[in-house]
Structure 1
Amino acid sequence: MKLQAAGKSSKWFVYQKIVIVFILFLLPLISMNIWLNYKGMSITKHAILNSSLAGASFYSKQLDKEMFFIRNLQLQLLNDKDLQKLSFRGSMLENYEEVELIDQVRDRLSTLMVSSEYVVSTGVYVEAVGKTISTASGVTNTPNGEMKLISSLMKEKPKPSFYRSGNRIFLIETENNGGIWSYIEISRPKLLEALKEIAKLYPESEVLLGNKELGTVLTTANKMKESNEVLYLTEDKSMHDPNAPEMKKINGVSYFIVQNDVSSLHLSLLMYVNENEITRPLSQFITWFYTLFIIAIIVMVLYSFSVNLMIHRPLSKLVKAFHMIETDNLNIMIDSKTKDEFHYVFNSFNNMTRKLKNSIEENYEQKIALQHSQLKQLQSQINPHFLYNSFFNIYMMCKVGDSDSAAELSQKLGSYYQYITRSGADEVPFYKEYRHALDYCDIQCIRFSNRIAYEYEGISGVPPSISVPRLIIQPIVENVFEHAFEDGMMEGMIYISTDYREGRLRVTVEDNGNLATDEVVEHLREKLVMDSKYIEKTGLINVNNRLQLKYGLGSGVFISRSEYGGLKVELIIMDQKEGA
């Protein structure tokens, strides 16, 4: 049966109704859109300001959290048992024990310094031993320059949230009635760099950090005077909502000012933006709006004449053809007289109907159902003995005090069962499937008390875009553990490698077991070539059937003798995308 293009008709098609309705509403829409344009400008302006508020608030909270984090680490340092021991016992310590405690404290100080990019140096003064321990100057007897500097800063009353010495910023805390001083120098360049990141939110914006008592502590502006003026203009918080931007004039220029508190330092973070930078893009919007509106009308008129000839008629043929497909009539062909894109669509439709008919006749639907059921069956095969034995191994490790091995086995076991039980797509990236198989090897090697080991190669040569069916490598490795080393050999070895060349992915699993006789190898080969309907759907055979169904000839599982003396299993996938 062949369909011819639809001729002239008196019916009103959807595309014609759309064009007519558009024209009828065009004139009132012009006036409405003018009003919406001005309304939209106002909304956009507020949205931009709210965006600036959100951006500045985010960065200020990040900075505040970082300072809180550093302060918490400093307080934890003061309660460190080694530091407390050094302070309480002091001169009663033997030289060796004193040196050991000082080294422990130095390690803790080094850890604190690398915990944040804002920390320049950190140190402690221990009165009982008369020494300062610092990441900057090491272990030094007192009095010294570092102690004198900190001592002079601590005289400031009342105690501030932080201390300043010239351009240097310190966080200082004490413990044991002044027997221990902890001091951390904060990087002024890093703080300024953080402010500059906030200033990048808008052109011609500046950011400052300060308060009424201290004035401007840090600012991205070139002129400190301008920053001080902005700071004093925003001190009266009762005059505005602190969670919303406000507009102030400075030297005749209007600025939108966003204020956030950095409570860890008892400072305010202010970002001020020139109003013209926000409104300039919006002022150009009106001209462009009218220009584009007129162009849209012209394009719509031309489009309405061309859409019927170029799209509607051939599309009508395709719709009719699909209606016939819905009636289960697959004996249909669409005739095309043009050489445009619809010619390709019509030919593709014809090929589709022909292939669909052939596929149905060849029980294609049954094969897809079989493939899906096999995947779900394999995924549900969670071996209870494997789980029980693993828990027993964890129990025995805990009994003997091997907490590290127990923790490692628990982590690997959790990762293993999370992977095989979670729902989701039937296909996963190859590297995840490969990592899952290695997790299984780790678990088994721990369970077998390390009398079995494995070696593997990386997958650097495999394209990261390749996806494979879930659970195709682990059954092969599981087969090795269950059958290759049944005689209890003490030096079992498994070798896992990957190779990708010209669209073919190969995963090789070999062992040095001595149980795979030539008869066993030949028997496995025969089972792999048997029809999938008459054999058990587990292990190597299940993987072979799934790969052949999905990727066609050339893919599957192949058995041979390994050069290490045991069995060699090769899993091959022909990458259809690469071949295309």
Structure 2
Amino acid sequence: MKLRIARKKSKWFVYQKVIAIFILLLLPLITMNIWFNYKGMSISKNAILSSSLAGATFYSKQLDKEMYFIRNLQLQLLNDKDLQKLSFRGSMLENYEEVELIEQVRDRQMALTAFSDYIVNAGVYVEAVGKTISTMSGVSNTPNPEMSLVASLVSVKPKPSFYQSGERIFLIESENNDGIWSYIEISRPKLLEALEQIANLYQESEVLLGSKELGAVLTTSREVQESNTILGQISEQSLQEQSTSEMKKVHGVNYFIIHNDVSALNLSLIMYVNQNEITRPLNQYTTWSYLLFIIAIVVMVLYAFSVNLMIHRPLSRLVKAFRMLEADNLNIMIESRTNDEFHYVFSSFNNMALKLKNSIRENYEQKIALQHSQLKQLQSQINPHFLYNSFFNIYMMCKVGDAESAAELSQKLGTYYQYITRSGSDEVPFYKEYQHALDYCEIQCIRFSNRITFEYSDVKDIPPSISVPRLIIQPIVENVFEHAFEDGTMEGVIYMGTEYADGRLRVTVEDNGKLVTGSMIEQMRDKLATESKYMEKTGLINVNNRLQLKYGNGSGLFVSRSAYGGLRVDLIIVVEEEED
């Protein structure tokens, strides 16, 4: 695909076209909207001031008076002479006299509940007689559940204007140094009914009863969080005023908020209504609203079409091109039929893709060539220097007439060199590489007059399909013979084992030599962990570099102290990526 460049130069850039078209299309809509909102707001303000504020204030005052009335009744009950007599002389009263006083107190309580529909339960606790007297549970000895609930509420400090237990609301007063407790439970449904009467002023209005400290104690809204948000928007100064109104924007919606003080409960009664509901009286402007809606739709369609044509389509082509580039498709090129900013972007993208393609090809070819060269170089550095000593051992065996040992050493030596000099693939099945290391051990044990032996485990549970680079185990074993037993150890042992699990192949070579020290192990670890092209590429470092070059991080040689006293070398190959 070739890049075609338009010759006709545009006088307008894309962003200029978008801004000019948007202003021209939106200008009539803005003009009508300003006029419409001006007319609507003038009527809405009159409606909210004359209707909502007056109605909410009336109901809130009624509720406040009712709560004051209930509190006065509660105080009168506390000062009742029969209740006072029962408290002062409780332990000295005869049974008959005590029962008579209790019944008279109950009569007063029943009369108190009849005075107001907001009272669910009226009760007293008299410490002198150890009883609670209530209209709901009757006369009960303490402790009892009702007394335990009231006692837990009274312990709250500082003393609130009312008490809450879940959804239950209580008014609690005490007398005679807490010798008498009077508690009245307020009907939550009745309070909610009173709030709903105020909310009925508008269809989309809600009313809540609460404070900054307690949040929304009671609300007609199903969304309690919304009520708490509205309450949080009101300033402390506004809450302290008797009756005020304001407009707040919450979650993108404009609300008219009216708040009144219910001083009997130390709470605020707040009504909030959606501004759209307030503008309902503007029915005379319905025709203009429909017209404005139609114009808005047309503007949105025209604007969307222009943005789609001038911005969205070119950007979509660019995004698709980048996705194809991420999928390693470097042959993509974008055509440009305009001469604006996108023409420059498309041209730059095409140049970038072309340069990236050439760069990847050159780097890939160089990397492959370098890796192949390094592998060949590292492999060729393996020098079987023990050849001369092996020939000398054969010569001495022949001189002393040990033909059988000479024949065995010759056969092992031939197999050994047949393996290392074979041309062809750089990789062999793992079991062949392992067997080659065992052959090398047998040759060395014969050379050292059997003062050194080796023990090994058979290859098992290792997939036959696993192939490894040639000559990666022998240098590890060779290192043991050269350095671990150079002090003339007579009972030297080499231990070899294999393990395969979770995509990791491990070959372990250990010895019981006494020459290796802790500092030598640390130095060897540092050398294996250091990547330097100037470092000598022989022995263990040779093998470590080859494994890391082929298999990446996690593969290589790792040295540590052997359980047998010598050196332990773990050869690890990450055959496949492990899942986290």
Alignment TM class, shorter chain as reference: 0.3 to 0.5
TM-score by length of 1: 0.42
TM-score by length of 2: 0.42
